[in-house]
Amino acid sequence: MDKLLSNLTIDNTITSITNNSNDSDIVQFIKTLKIIIPTIRNNYNKNSNIYHGEKIHLTISGLIGVGKTTFVKKFSQIKDCKIFEESVENNPYLDKFYENPTRYAFETQIHFLSQRLLDYNNSIDIQLNEPVCIFDRHLIEDYVFAKTCFKQKYLTQLQFNTYKQLFDELINNIKKPDLFIFLKATPETCYERINKRKRISENGIKLEYLKTLAEAYDEFIEEYNGKFFIIILNWENFVEFDFIFNMLTSLLVSNKNVV
């Protein structure tokens, strides 16, 4: 931990990998946040020519089935946080995609991209009062899924090029996340959790797809290393994490010292 903190500078990404889900790891996570959040506030929009007010954009991410939506929903009762949940249930192509991915991959990706763009635009609306926006996946990571579909041969080269041209145009004009928290678990663990929760829309998810998705996320994290703060949190085992949200919220909305 000391080495991790000593390497922290304003422009560097923090990658904090917790090896075990226990109290000491949670304390480490909080201590890391105590440095990251003030740094974000002190250097807000330093590298951007777009004004976004004083809002902090925090993203919770991970493989399908890792438990990120449960994590995000912990914030739903906090008045100073605006939650942008992933619109899985509202995607009319998703069930069809899992049944026939080659036929419906392009439509599925374009729909998710448009929904994430809508969420992002709503997050920077000057009418939005909440100072903290928390995303259940961010627009910037939509490309991870398109890349996975292409690797799995669900998208043709032409479809992928069309998607990427649109994505690149969008991503050049948006604010990147201030803090990206990646809940990490193996594809096998996530596959087991998917089967246990038995969502109809996920019946067609294959383990091989999750493995390819995990590789794409590894490449994403490597690509964006140093461009915004990233924390990788071991989520192989669920932990009782309730108390951490009070601490995190205090840091996000009021920058208090809570530990």
Report the catalytic residues. Answer: 136
User: Amino acid identity of 18?
Assistant: T
Backbone angles phi, psi at 163, to 5 degrees: -60, -50
Burial of 224 (0-12, 13-18, 19+ CB in 10 A): middle
User: Amino acid identity of 109?
Assistant: Q
Cβ neighbors of 177 (< 8 A, separation 6 or more) are 57, 58, 59, 135, 138, 140, 228
By residue count, the chain amounts to 259
The CA–CA distances, whole Å, from 227 to 90, 148, 221, 240 equal 31, 22, 10, 31
| Rounded Cα gap, residues 14 and 80, in angstroms | 25
Q: Which of 71, 23, 91, 11 is nearest to 47 (CA)?
A: 11
